[in-house]
Amino acid sequence: MATVTSIRLPVAAPRRGWFRQFCRHRGGMLGTLILALVLLVALAAGWIYPRDPLRIVALPEIWPFTDWRYPLGTDSLGRDITALMLHGARATLLIGISASVAATLIGVTVGACAAWFGGWVDEALMRVAELFQIIPNVVFVLTIVSVLGPHMINVVVAVGLVSWQPIARLTRAEFLSFKDREFILACRASGMSAFQTVTREILPNVMPPVIVLASLVVAGAILYESVIAFLGLGDPNLASWGRLVGEGRTLIRSSWFICAVPGVAIMLTVLALNLLGDGLNDAFNPKLRERT
């Protein structure tokens, strides 16, 4: 085992300074700060507004900053937009992160199996991935939610099923690049099982680029959830930014702020996730790190 460890160290060594490099990336740090703020708002939503955010509390269409009790105004039904935004941040992040985790688990499993076993297994799994890519993602998501029902778990399942293909392809390519390297051959010669070789030696080297892609999948999942809620197929008992945009679209001429406030929140969150992905990409990519 000592020989295997000595061979593996040069492969992992270039990734040691990724955190220091990430801290130097201004866009990545800006995205991290925005996401930290959104996460803080989501965590504090239950403490600031412990009551149901969907309840009617005032007259409809109160403009922002005209009543200190409702800083962001009220929607078309008289619900507090501030409460909806805070609780909506919780739902939006929860759906986005959960869908990204589901897509990552599916994609890493499929890509690893395809690369490790090869042959007909690789061919079959890649054809399945291509089959999922042929179907338009939005149509597929809407179909799944319509069939299973408008619940948060169903939304997570639907978004996860349409988001795993890029992760599977990336995992497969990374696995193929490491599969025949010297330290993997040494692991096999030392008697390590295939499961131990994959989980202990290959996966730690494959995961950095997968993590970068997974952060972008979160942004895509948030947009999918917003589209679902905008079209009225989201969970009716859940406050979300996309639902607020959808409910305010009929009043966009008279009370445009009902759509603008959650729309800006969605834009900033997706932008922050993309900036975070760029920062992680620069930090994990050794060629970019050497150039910097």
Rounded distance, CA 142 to CA 91, Å?
18
| Continuous H helices in 135-256 | 137-148, 152-163, 165-179, 182-189, 194-196, 203-230, 241-248
**pLDDT category, 272, cuts 50, 70, 90?**
very high
Question: Tokens 């009790």 correspond to what residue?
Answer: 69
Rounded distance, CA 50 to CA 87, Å?
10
List, for residues 53-96, the tens digit of each pLDDT value: 989 888 888 999 998 889 999 988 899 999 999 999 988 899 88
Q: When comparing pLDDT for 220 and 182, which is higher?
A: 220
> Residue 74, SS3?
strand
**Could you tell me if 103 and 169 are in contact, meaning their C-beta atoms sit under 8 angstroms apart?**
no
Q: Which two tokens stand for residue 195?
A: 């499961």
Check whether 195 has a pLDDT greater than 80: no
Check whether 97 has a pLDDT greater than 80: yes
Name the phi and psi angles at 52, rounded to 5.
-60, 120
| pLDDT above 90 as % of the chain | 28
* Closest to 281 measured CA to CA, from 201, 195, 211: 211
**8-12, 162-166, 190-194, 207-211: range with highest mean pLDDT:** 162-166
List, for residues 241-251, the tens digit of each pLDDT value: 988 998 888 88
Rounded distance, CA 91 to CA 75, Å?
19
pLDDT of residue 186: 81
pLDDT of residue 51: 86
Rounded distance, CA 82 to CA 219, Å?
22
Can you name the CATH fold of 30-291?
A: MetI-like fold (1.10.3720)
Cα angle, residue 128 at apex, residues 126 and 129 outer, rounded to 5°:
65
pLDDT of residue 286: 56
Beta pairing partners, 80 = 74
Statement: the pTM of the whole predicted model exceeds 0.95: no
Q: Where are the beta strands (DSSP E) in the chain?
A: none
